Amino acid sequence: MRRLLLTVSGLAVILSVFAVNALPPGTEKEISERLKPVGTVARSAAAEAAVEEVAAGPLSGEEVYDQYCSVCHTSGVGGAPLFADAAAWAPRIAKGMDVLMASTINGINAMPAKGTCMSCSDDELAATVTYMLDAAQ
């Protein structure tokens, strides 16, 4: 019995020591200081540029072409008709603007929808198609 009592009281002492040390050391202020955030989140330069671009208004046909379409239409990637190539554009022009816009918006053959300019409006895409057609005539 004495042995059991010593064991129980020894356990009580050990648990009380661990219970006291289980709390982080320091005052409330010191603990709060250690737990405060390390830094803040800020927009990246790319995000700022995107905001400025949206605020600047719609892109011109030439701007959309330069940023998105020229990748394929300057070298003919995937069968894309070359920019300002009247012979390549003539059969497409003959189909009319509605067909060209449907192909531009939905994609055709190797060309993805909107020519990868997913943020472009239909008006911006129409201006781009017009820019490309004007160069081919």
pLDDT (tens digit per residue) in 35-80? 888 777 777 776 676 666 555 789 999 999 999 999 999 999 999 9
Q: Which residue has the higher pLDDT, 16 or 84?
A: 84
Amino acid 89: pLDDT: 95
Q: Which CATH superfamily is domain 59-136 in?
A: Cytochrome c-like domain (1.10.760.10)
Summarize the confidence of residues 89-100 as an average pLDDT.
Answer: 95
Residue 94 predicted with pLDDT over 90: yes
Amino acid 4: pLDDT: 56
Residue 93 predicted with pLDDT over 60: yes
Q: Which residue has the higher pLDDT, 100 or 56?
A: 100
- For the chain, the domains span 2-35, 59-136
Amino acid 69: pLDDT: 96
Q: Give CA–CA dist 129/100, Å, rounded.
A: 8
Residue 17 to residues 20, 24, 26, 28, 101: CA-CA distances in angstroms? Answer: 5, 13, 17, 21, 78
**Which has the closest alpha carbon to 125: 103, 94, 95?**
103
Q: Which residue has the higher pLDDT, 43 or 87?
A: 87
Amino acid 76: pLDDT: 94
Residue 106 predicted with pLDDT over 90: yes
| Averaged pLDDT of the chain | 84
